[in-house]
Amino acid sequence: MNVKLAQRIGFAAWGLLALLQIVWHAWLIPPARMPIAVALAIALLPLALPLLYWRTPSRALLLAGMVALFYFCHGVAEAWAAPRERVLAWIELLLAVVVILACARKPRRRGKLPA
């Protein structure tokens, strides 16, 4: 797969993961024990970290892939423990895996290795 295409797919999945958090925690299943703003802050702040590297897309995507590991774990836990949220958790799992795989491309070789 082309590196630029993989980056585009990764960034799209990253954005959809953020959108899913908003839809999940603010609209479909708002939290019962905390304000919606606090739940959104907890859900969205880690996804905002890659914005620190917006000038270097490969680093931003790498950080998004690391952050997506948290959302993968969250999706597994929710899919296992909360039947009401299972569909949203599976969508979160799928998007997290896409982000992780998008940054797992073969690195370029800059030169020959010394003999």
Residue 115 covered by a domain = no
Structural domains in the chain (count): 1
Residue 66 covered by a domain = yes
Divide the 115 residues of the chain into consecutive groups of 10 and give the mean pLDDT of each group: 89 98 96 96 97 94 96 97 97 98 74 60
Residue 80 backbone phi and psi in degrees, to 5: -80, -40
Residue 57 covered by a domain = yes
Specify the pLDDT at position 112. Answer: 64
Specify the pLDDT at position 102. Answer: 94
Residue 96 covered by a domain = yes
**Residue 42: domain span:** 3-102
Residue 42 covered by a domain = yes
Please give the model's pTM, rounded to 2 decimal places. 0.89
Report long-range pairs for 105-112 (Cβ below 8 Å, ≥24 apart).
105/1, 105/3, 105/6
Residue 52 covered by a domain = yes
Specify the pLDDT at position 108. Answer: 63
